[in-house]
Structure 1
Amino acid sequence: MAFHDVRYPTNLSLGSSGGPERRTEIVTLVNGFEERNSPWSDSRRRYDAGAGMRSLDDLDTLITFFEARRGQLHAFRWKDWADYKTCRPSLVVSATDQVIGTGDGTRVTFQLSKTYASGSGSWTRVITKPVAGTVKIAVNGSERVPGADFSVDATTGVVTLQLPPAVGATVTAGCEFDVPVRFDTDRIAVTIATFHAGEIPQVPVIEVRI
């Protein structure tokens, strides 16, 4: 399966539904207690691409995009409007949103990421599809200049600094990002009559590991 570095139309994903999914295995013991375990270290996101369509032109856009991806064959970028920034949705991305590493005097590459923390629990999400032109980097709170001080691989989310941060220096980052996904179906079924009546097709989309 190839990855097409193209984003699903954002005017359609804006009205779509979906979010993170985890897999938990639960065994109920004879005494009523439970044992819980997860074979997944990371969550996986699912969406419905059909939910954002409002007109026949939207339907045509979906079908065109679907055919160009050959159904499930090729993955693509998806904007999750509920979670597409390294900061809260109401805030503006800044270079100090997330800690992505600590300098050791020689290391120059750092992976973009976002940490979700609540109480004593946390999970760090690797960001592999940052939006070009949105990445901001700082070292010990001092913002760096893109191009001159650092570069970003928009296909992997790896940041390369021109100079290695000093030992113990905190490297932080902020950006907007997309989710790598594919269609989770090889078939789109819709009739014009039902579409005009308000019935829209279900077009499942699922996150892929890159």
Structure 2
Amino acid sequence: MAFHEIRFPANLSFGSVGGPERRTEIVSLTNGYEERNTPWAHSRRRYDAGMGLRSLDDVAALIDFFEARAGQLHGFRWKDWSDYKSCAPSGAPGFEDQVLGEGDGETTHFQLVKAYQSGPAKYIRPIMKPVGGSVRIGIGGDAMQEGVHYEVDLRTGIVTFSNAPGQGAAVTAGFEFDVPARFDTDRIAVSVANFQAGDLPQVPVVEVRI
């Protein structure tokens, strides 16, 4: 399997339905209590791309993309319109949005991440597919310049500094990002008559681990 560094047409993913899923294993005990555990450290996202189709031209574009990916075989980038920024949906990414770590004077590589927090609980999501030109980086509250102070690997989301951030300096970032995904079917069934009547095809898309 290969991963194609190409984004599913954003105008087709707009209007799609989907979001994160978790896997929780629940055991009911004889005393009425439960034991809950999960084998997943990270959530996985699922979407239905069929909900974003609005015309037969959209269907044709979808089929082109599907055939070029050979169905489920090759991965691609997917824009999740409900969650594609390091900041709030109404804002613009800034270099202080997310904390990547703390400098130690030696480490030059930092993974982009996004934190999801509610109350005392926090989930840290690795960001593997940042959008080119969108990444803003800061060290100790000062903005850095891409190409001078750091480089970003758009295939992995790893930021590499030309000089290691100093001891105790907060390394922060703001960015837009895509979800690494693949089709979750090897078959797309479209009826022209049904499509014109409002019966959209189901086109499942699922996040992949990379």
Q: Tell me which interval the TM-score lies in, with the shorter structure as reference length.
A: over 0.9
Shift of 1:91: 1.0
1:64-83, aligned counterparts within 5 Å?
A: 64-83=64-83
Who is 1:172 aligned against? 172
Instruction: In structure 1, give the amino acid aligned to 2:46.
Output: R
Letter of the 1:78 partner, please give it.
Answer: W
Tell me what 2:207 maps to.
207
Identity %: 62
Query: Structure 1 runs of 4+ off > 4 angstroms?
Result: none
Provide structure 1 residue ranges, at least 5 long, that are not aligned to the other structure: none
**Aligned partners of 2:39, 2:160: CA distance in 1, in Å?**
32
1:22 corresponds to: 22
Any residues of structure 2 matched to 1:135-146 within 5 Å, and which? 135-146=135-146
**What's the CA shift for 1:32?**
1.3
Q: How big is each residue's C-alpha offset from its partner over 1:70-91, in whole Å with a ceiling of 9 and x where there is no partner?
A: 0000000000000000111011
Aligned to 2:124: 124
Instruction: Provide the C-alpha distance between the structure 2 equivalents of 1:107 and 1:39, rounded to a whole number of angstroms.
Output: 30
Instruction: Give the match's secondary structure for 1:71.
Output: coil
Q: Does 1:185 align with 2:185?
A: yes
Q: Distance in 2 between the 1:42 and 1:125 partners?
A: 7
- TM-score, normalising length from structure 2? 0.99
Shift of 1:107: 1.1
RMSD: 0.6
Where does residue 194 of structure 2 map in the other structure?
Answer: 194
- The amino acid of 2:164's aligned partner reads P
Matched residues in 1 for 2:41 and 2:108: separation? 27
Instruction: Quote the offset at 1:163 in angstroms.
Output: 1.1
Match of 1:53 in 2: 53
- Partner of 1:65: helix, strand, or coil? helix
Q: CA shift at 1:28, angstroms?
A: 1.1
Match of 2:103 in 1: 103
Residue 91 of structure 1 corresponds to which residue in structure 2?
Answer: 91
Cα distance in 1 between the residues matched to 2:164 and 2:16: 42
State the match for 2:161 in structure 1.
161
C-alpha separation in 2, matches of 1:54 and 1:166:
52
In structure 1, what is the Cα distance between the partners aligned to 2:186 and 2:152? Answer: 34
Offset at residue 106 of structure 1 (A): 1.2
Secondary structure in structure 1 of the residue aligned to 2:100: strand
CA drift at 1:57: 0.2
